[in-house]
Structure formats: C-alpha cells, structure tokens
Structure 1
Amino acid sequence: MHYVSTRGIAAQDTFSTILLGGLAEDGGLYLPEHYPQISDAELNQWRTFSYAELACAVLAKFAPDIPLADLRALTQKTYTAATYCNTSGDASKITPLQELEPGLYLQALSNGPTLAFKDMAMQLLGNLFEYTLDKQHAELNIFGATSGDTGSAAEYAMRGKRGIRVFMLSPHKKMSAFQTAQMFSLTDENIFNIAVEGVFDDCQDLVKAVSNDLAFKNRQKIGTVNSINWARVVAQVVYYFRGYLSATTNNSQQVSFTVPSGNFGNVCAGHIARMMGLPIAKLVVATNENDVLDEFFKTGKYQVRKSEQTYHTSSPSMDISKASNFERFVFDLIGRDSARLLALFSKVEKTGGFDLSGAPGSDGDEFKRIAEFGFSSGKSVHTDRLATIRSVREKYGITVDTHTADGIKVALEQRDNNVAMIVLETALPAKFNETIREALGVDAPRPAGFENIESLPQHFVVMVADAAQMKAYIAGKTGL
C-alpha cells in the first residue's frame, strides 16, 4: 500500500512515512493509490470483533508496513472501557447505537476523555505517534488548528507523550466556554495554546502556510493532527463499520449516515468506508449557517467565504467555510486527475471557488456524478437546532448537543423509510451548555470531573494571524 498526493506526487510513501507529516510536499493531501476492498467473508467475520479488533483489521488494510502484532497492541491499548466507557465500564459499549425510533439511530461517539467524537481517532493517533517516534528516536512538534473539539482531543491524547509538543491554534473568543476551558486549563509543559484573532479558517490557513515552508517544517519537525492527517481519517473509518455492523444482521442490507460537517474530515471517512465496499446508501452532509458544503452538494458550485463572511454560531465546531478534507473527495470525483485538481484549488485561492455544475462557463460537469458517491446534504440554523433539541428531549428523553441536533434535523428531512439512518453524535451537550439552557431552560448534564472546569486558571497567548510571527513563536519554544 502506497500513497499519492491529491496534487501530483506519485505513489512512493507508506503509511508510516506519511504518519507524522500531514500535508504532502506539494501541498496536497495523501490518499492511498487505491482503496482496499472488503469481502463478504471479512465483513461477516468482523461482526464478532471487539472495537479494538475491528480497528486493527481496518487499519491493517491501510498500514501493512506496521507489523500486525504491533498494530494489534496499539489498538488494544487505545480502545479500552477505561478510556471510552466511563459510565458503563463495558468495552462492548464503545460507539453504541441508540434506536430513537424504528430505523433511526444515534451512534454515540462522545464517551472519550474530552466528550467529543474526535477522541475516537485522536487517542489512537497519540499512541501511533509515540510508537513511531520511539522507533525513530525522534521528536515531533504538532502544529494544529481547532474550531473547538480537535484541539482538546489532541491535547488530551498527546499530554505527557515522550518527544511530542503540541502547538494548537483556536479562534479567539469563538469557542464555547466549556471548550475553551477544556483546552486552556491544561498545565502540561508540552502543551501550547494560541488564540488567533480571527476565525477558524484563519487558523487553518496558518497551519497550511507553516507546513508549506518545507525548510522550516523539516527543521522544526512539524507534524499535524488536523484531519488533513491521513491516519486520523483512517481511524475514523472504523466507527462507520461498527455502526453498520450494529444496525444490520446481514451484508445485503444498506444503511445511511448523516454527519454534522465543518471540515469534511468526519464524512470523508464515511466516503472512504463506502469506497472500500461498505454498503452505505447515502452520506448526508449536515451543515449549519456556514453552508458552503450544502451549496456544493445541491448545485455543484463551491464558493468559500471570507473570514468576515463566516458566521459565529451555536454549533461553533462547524463554523468553517473552507473545508480542508473536501479536496480528497473532489480528487475522487474528478477521476483522480491531480493536474485538474491543482487547477481547481488554485482557482479557489484566486477567486474563492469553482463550479462543477456543467452550466455554460463552468469549470466542468462532474456534479452529475455526485449520486454515484451517495452524497446529499442539508442545512440547520439556530432556530432549527433549538427546536430539535427540544423535540429530541420530548420524544426520546435524551439531550443532544447543538451539532448533533443539526444532524438529526437534516436526517429527518432526508430519511428513506426502507433504509436505516444512523446519525453520528459529535459531542456531549455539556460542551455547549449556553444553548442547551436556551433550548430547555436547564443545564446540560455534566460528567464527573468536569463540574467546575470553567473556573480553572487558563493558560494561552493571543496572536494575530501572521505566519512569520507564528514560526518565530514555535522556534522560540523549541529552541531549534
């Protein structure tokens, strides 16, 4: 198994060689030169696996260069009841399905240490990084950006890890109070929080700008944990298999998934699972007021928004107008033509977007192929999510967070009564208590250990969105 860049580097790298780096040297994103396929016999066998065994089986398809015994040890170390099932203590309950009503399920992905789905991949990534660095006798400076949940998941996964420092950017004063406290209250010496004056897209642009300075990247040993990191996307593929296997009894059945989406990493993992042969009927992208992806999947027109046009919403982890993983899907959509992809995304940088609708003067007509990949989309706004939080509480007796509410609202609109619909839960409601209180008039339930997190001292620096200043800050902390 070798990997190619969406922008043209030929197949050359293995899973281990791209694990630490993030972006390819040409600025593209890594994908396997072909998607490994699963057989009916394998899928039947996987029905009996624990989550750790399933993760090992899926990752082995993409990382044959890692000895299977080592991969098994890493997944067994990662996916434990102690880490993911703090309420039940039962490892069989990792990512459990809850049937809301016949044919409609919620897949719980937020029982990890930071109460968000990002823990499902990030905890494994921390162990993979430590394993690889130990073998290479090397160090790594992780440089990432977060709109709320990636940052805390990364920091909790990497805190105290040998040879690893974390430099995490977040948009200043644009996360929930809980999200902010969860990151900024950490005191570990290898964790550096940087609040950027701007929106998440400004943070993400800084990560790409620094990563594209290859001399600086190599000298400072820069890696990334954002969903541009291929290993993180692969780790997310696992729970699509788990969701499917939990909702079906045989391989002739299909399911659909609705995925709240901002940076397109979560739903991109679903796309990969589908390309591997998992019987997924539809992948429904649920957006908030920042509806660039919804617009594309409805019209074929991709038009990113400027920072000042990106809304600050009550589902802030989706306040993104330039989804970095979208490039991976477009690469497949246009037949893996890297020269054409480079031209399209160069146009994004120059004019803000491209048009694949096939209309006169457009950049192509690939929008007609969207149905082949099973994608559709929908949108939810603040009043929708308040209404959904209330109705879910009234009908099903549970409280969901704002992003999951967006997913449920869109899922109900696009549901096919003949196909099971699984909505991916993204976080526990305690992380967005301000909106829960607005919707329900009471506070969200708060897990033990997080009762007074907002009152803890916070440690962070505020910086402008300037790549040169950012590189100077990193160099000053590493001494390299």
Structure 2
Amino acid sequence: MKYVSTRGAAAGQPHSFLDILLGGLAPDGGLFMPLDYPRITADELRHFRTLDYAALACEILAKFADDIDRDTLAALTRRTYTAEVYRHTRRAGPASDITPLSTLGSEGGTTLSLLELSNGPTLAFKDMAMQLLGNLFEHALARDHATLNIVGATSGDTGSAAEYAMRGKRGVRVFMLSPHNKMSAFQRAQMYSLDDPNIFNLAVQGVFDDCQDIVKAISNDAAFKARHRVGTVNSINWARVVAQVVYYFKGYLAAFDDAAWQAHAEAPLEAMPKVSFTVPSGNFGNVCAGHIARMMGLPIARLVVATNENDVLDEFFRTGAYRVRSAAETRQTTSPSMDISKASNFERFVFDLFERDSARVAGAFEAVASQGGFDLGGTPEFDAIKHYGFVSGRSNHADRIATIRDVDARYRTTIDTHTADGVCVARRYLEPGVPMIVLETAQPVKFGETIREALGHEPDRPADFVGIEALPQHVTVVPAEAERVKAFVAEHSAD
C-alpha cells in the first residue's frame, strides 16, 4: 500500500505507511491518501465476525500498513485494545468488547443504537485511535533510535487522549494547543492536571481554528519541522484516521443477530444487509473513517454528518457551498469539541469527490485560503455526493437539552452533548429495516454543567476521575501566533 498527497498525486514517489506515520501534512500542504482503497469480500466480512477487537484491528490495519510485519502489528493491537485500557464500560456489555453496541430501542421502523467508543482512559472516542498511535509511534522511534516532538491542536478531547497515550513514551514530547477557556472544566482538568515531564499544554488566546492554523503553519515550515523532528497526532495524521475505520466494521458486525448472519451465509457483498451511521462531526476525521470503510466495501447505506451551531459541514452537504467561518463567527457551544469552522479532513473526501484530481483539489483549497471557500452547488460533483452516502443536519443547544432528556426518560440512558447532536440528527434519517448506529463521542461527565441543566443531577463519574478539577493545573497561556509557539517548542523539544 502506497500513499500520495491530495494536492500532488502525480508528483514524487508514493510513500509507505511508515514513511508518513509520524507526520501530518504532506510537503505540498495536502493530506496523505492511499493510492487506492483495499476491498473486502463477503467471506472476509463473515470471518471478521469471529474476531475480537484487537484481531479485527490487525486485519483492517494490515491492509493499509503492509510495511509492518504481521506479527509486530498483531502484538501492537493486542497491547492496545485490552479490557484494562478500555475499562470504563457503562452499559452494553463486558469491557472485553472494547466498543459494545448498545441498542436504545425501536424508532421509525428500525433499531436506534449507540456504539460505545468512550470506554478508554480519557472517556472519549479519541482514545480508540490515539492509544494505538502511541504504541505505533514508540515502535517506529525505537526502530530508528529517533525522537519526536508532537505538536497538536484540540477543541477538547483530542488533547487529553493524545497526552494520556503519549505520557511516558520514550523519545516523545507533546505540545498540545487548546483554545483558552473554551473547553469544559473537566476537559481542562484532564489535560492540565498531567505533570509528566514530556507533556506541555499551551492555551492559545483564540478559538480552536487558531490552534489548528498554528499546527498547520508549523507543519508547513519544512526546515523547522525537520530540525525539531515535529510530528502530529491531529486527525490529519493518516494512521489515526485509519485506526478509526476499525470500529465501523465492529459496529456493523454487531448490528445483526446470528439468524441474520445465517440467512446471508452465502450472500455476495452487494446482497449483505446495510446499516447507517450518524457521526457528530467537527473536523471530519471520524466520519471520514466511515467514508473509507464504505469505500472498502462495508455495506453502509448512509453516513449522517451531525453538526452543532458551527454548521460548515452541514451547509456543504445541503448546498454544495464550503464556507469557512472566521474566529469571530465561530460560536462557543455546549458541544465544544465540535466548535470548528475549518474541517481539516474534509479535503480527503474532496479528493475522492474530484475523482482524485490533485490539481483541482489544490485549486479548491487555494480558494479556501484566499476567498474563504468554494461552491459546488449545481455541479456534477454536488450531484455525486449522494453516491457516497452522505447526508447531514445540525442541532442547537435547545435540541441537545431536549434530546438528553428524551433519551434519559425513554431509555434510562444518559448521553453527552455531542452524542445528543448525533441522536437528534439521526432521527431525521431513520429508514425502516436499516439499523441506525450513532457513534458515541464521550461520557457525560465531561460536560457536567449541561447534564445538570438537562437532568437536574450530576452525571455518573468513574472513581479514578473523582476530584480531578481540584488538582493543580500545568498550562502556559500564549497568543495565537505561530512564531511564539515555535519558540516554545524549540526551547522545550526532545533532543
């Protein structure tokens, strides 16, 4: 498997998985994508159902990382996906399931379910990929006797997931940028209470998009990046995106009972039953993984993009207009991890939408930089979106509160604010006979203030997070200036 840039597919030699593992943007400012998507067969899909999560992850990742020998990859996934690491299971089954599928109930002639992705050490779906990334990074660095300085940006959950995955890792230092005073108290405490010597928190005086722009500016400074061995764990990192593909397969495999599988024991892939997924979306990485799974042949009917009031993605899928917002236009909401107005991974889908024409992709994102966006409304590309299964919707604070209350009353289940955005939008796209799976984003304790507003009581809290807000916090406040962040990284970087 080889990889090319979304902005220069015809330039230079294709790269291997290990070539791009530690980096972020391609040298031309694009994102890495596989030359083509590996395809699964119906027999493979039936075989996958017999595997636990670690073995399934090895099977999927092996299709994209064929320069890591199979035994090593299997050892890495076994070390990552354990009941001890993913121990915060709340509802549907034993921790050994890693991502249990929890059925809420029957609505609209089908089943509405939650795929539990928040059972890891930071109680957010980001742990699913980040824990693997930590082990992959450590393996690659040890092999090359190298060091790495990770510079990342977070709107809430990526930061803590990265820091918990990388803390104590040999040869790695983490510099995590977050928007100053724009995350929940729990999210800030998770990140800033860490005092590991290889972890550095920088609170940027701005919004998440400012943090993301600084990370991209550093990634685009080739000399600085090489001198200080800079890598990234943001969702522009291909390894993180492809690790998320695994749980789409896991969700699909769990959606049907033994009788349904027996009824399709000899069916070809195109005759297998379909499911739909709804994904709370900000940076497009999580739902991009669903797009990749669908391109591999996983029988997905719809990929529902659910946004909050920061509805750049919803606007695009409804109208064809991709219009980024300024920092002043980006709203601070009660689902803060989605307070994003520049969806970094969106370029990966546009690459496929433009039939992998890298020159057109480069032109479109030059228009984003110079004019604030582009418009595909009324074009053949906009008409083609439906062939990729994408639909979208938005919700607001009142919708979140109402959905949290309804799910609690109807199903005795407490969901977080981002998952509430997902459930709210999912209900608009239910199809009889097509199971709808909402990807759970985080555990409710991370957004206690809004849960108290909705339900009048505190959300449940795992014992190891009791009192976390009272711990001393370690953070440096910086202006939204790339040069200031670069100076900090240079001063504190790994040798």
- For the aligned residue pairs, the C-alpha RMSD in angstroms reads 1.1
Query: Gaps (5+ residues) in structure 2?
Result: 262-268
**Whole-Å Cα distance in 1 between the matches of residues 393 and 89 of structure 2?**
33
Q: 2:114 aligns with which of 94, 106, 111?
A: 106
Q: 1:68 aligns with which of 67, 70, 77?
A: 70
**Whole-Å Cα distance in 1 between the matches of residues 351 and 474 of structure 2?**
40
AA aligned opposite 1:143: V
AA aligned opposite 1:338: S
Q: 1:21 aligns with which of 15, 23, 43?
A: 23
Matched, 1:156 2:171: no
Report the secondary structure of 1:395's partner residue: helix
Displacement of 1:22:
1.1
Contact (CA 8 Å) 1:9, 1:26: kept in 2 or not?
no
Displacement of 1:417:
1.6
Where does residue 97 of structure 2 map in the other structure?
93
Q: 1:116 aligns with which of 124, 131, 150?
A: 124
Q: 2:142 aligns with which of 130, 134, 141?
A: 134
Q: 1:380 aligns with which of 395, 399, 410?
A: 395
Where does residue 178 of structure 2 map in the other structure?
170
How big is each residue's C-alpha offset from its partner over 1:145-197, in whole Å with a ceiling of 9 and x where there is no partner? 00000000000000000000000000000000000000000000000000000
How big is each residue's C-alpha offset from its partner over 1:201-241, in whole Å with a ceiling of 9 and x where there is no partner? 00000000000000000000000000000000000000000
Aligned pairs for 1:42-441 within 5 A: 42-87=44-89, 90-102=94-106, 103-248=111-256, 249-250=260-261, 252-358=272-378, 364-441=379-456
Contact (CA 8 Å) 2:88, 2:95: kept in 1 or not?
no
How big is each residue's C-alpha offset from its partner over 1:419-460, in whole Å with a ceiling of 9 and x where there is no partner? 100000000000000000011110111111111000000000
Displaced runs of 4 or more, over 6 A: none
Report the secondary structure of 1:308's partner residue: coil
AA aligned opposite 1:256: S
Report the secondary structure of 1:431's partner residue: helix
How many residue pairs were aligned?
A: 475
Contact (CA 8 Å) 1:203, 1:465: kept in 2 or not?
yes
Displacement of 1:479:
7.1
Report the secondary structure of 1:82's partner residue: coil
Displacement of 1:9:
4.5
**Whole-Å Cα distance in 2 between the matches of residues 159 and 474 of structure 1?**
17
**Whole-Å Cα distance in 2 between the matches of residues 79 and 354 of structure 1?**
41
Contact (CA 8 Å) 2:147, 2:494: kept in 1 or not?
no
AA aligned opposite 1:448: A
Report the secondary structure of 1:127's partner residue: helix
AA aligned opposite 1:170: S
Matched, 1:442 2:450: no
Change (3 A) 1:97 1:479: closer
AA aligned opposite 1:369: A
State which drifts further: 81-90 or 126-135.
Answer: 81-90
AA aligned opposite 2:44: E
**Whole-Å Cα distance in 2 between the matches of residues 87 and 267 of structure 1?**
23
State which drifts further: 48-57 or 465-474.
Answer: 465-474
Contact (CA 8 Å) 2:399, 2:421: kept in 1 or not?
yes
State which drifts further: 414-423 or 125-134.
Answer: 414-423
**Whole-Å Cα distance in 1 between the matches of residues 21 and 399 of structure 2?**
39
How big is each residue's C-alpha offset from its partner over 1:293-323, in whole Å with a ceiling of 9 and x where there is no partner? 0000000011000000000000000000000
**Whole-Å Cα distance in 2 between the matches of residues 230 and 322 of structure 1?**
18
Where does residue 265 of structure 2 map in the other structure?
none
Q: 1:40 aligns with which of 39, 42, 45?
A: 42
Where does residue 264 of structure 2 map in the other structure?
none
**Whole-Å Cα distance in 2 between the matches of residues 288 and 198 of structure 1?**
19
Query: Gaps (5+ residues) in structure 1?
Result: 359-363
**Whole-Å Cα distance in 2 between the matches of residues 236 and 118 of structure 1?**
9
Q: Using the aligned pairs only, state the percent identity.
A: 67
Displacement of 1:341:
0.6
Displacement of 1:85:
2.6
AA aligned opposite 2:370: K
State which drifts further: 403-412 or 98-107.
Answer: 98-107
AA aligned opposite 1:346: E
Displacement of 1:87:
4.8
**Whole-Å Cα distance in 2 between the matches of residues 104 and 83 of structure 1?**
27
Change (3 A) 1:285 1:87: closer
How big is each residue's C-alpha offset from its partner over 1:104-128, in whole Å with a ceiling of 9 and x where there is no partner? 1111000000000000000000000
TM-score by length of 1: 0.98
Contact (CA 8 Å) 1:286, 1:294: kept in 2 or not?
yes
Aligned pairs for 1:458-473 within 5 A: 458-473=473-488
AA aligned opposite 2:73: L
Report the secondary structure of 2:131's partner residue: helix
Displacement of 1:91:
4.8
How big is each residue's C-alpha offset from its partner over 1:236-260, in whole Å with a ceiling of 9 and x where there is no partner? 0000000000002436110000000
Report the secondary structure of 1:449's partner residue: helix
**Whole-Å Cα distance in 2 between the matches of residues 246 and 418 of structure 1?**
15
AA aligned opposite 1:422: I
**Whole-Å Cα distance in 2 between the matches of residues 175 and 403 of structure 1?**
13
**Whole-Å Cα distance in 1 between the matches of residues 243 and 68 of structure 2?**
15
Displacement of 1:86:
4.0
Displacement of 1:92:
3.6
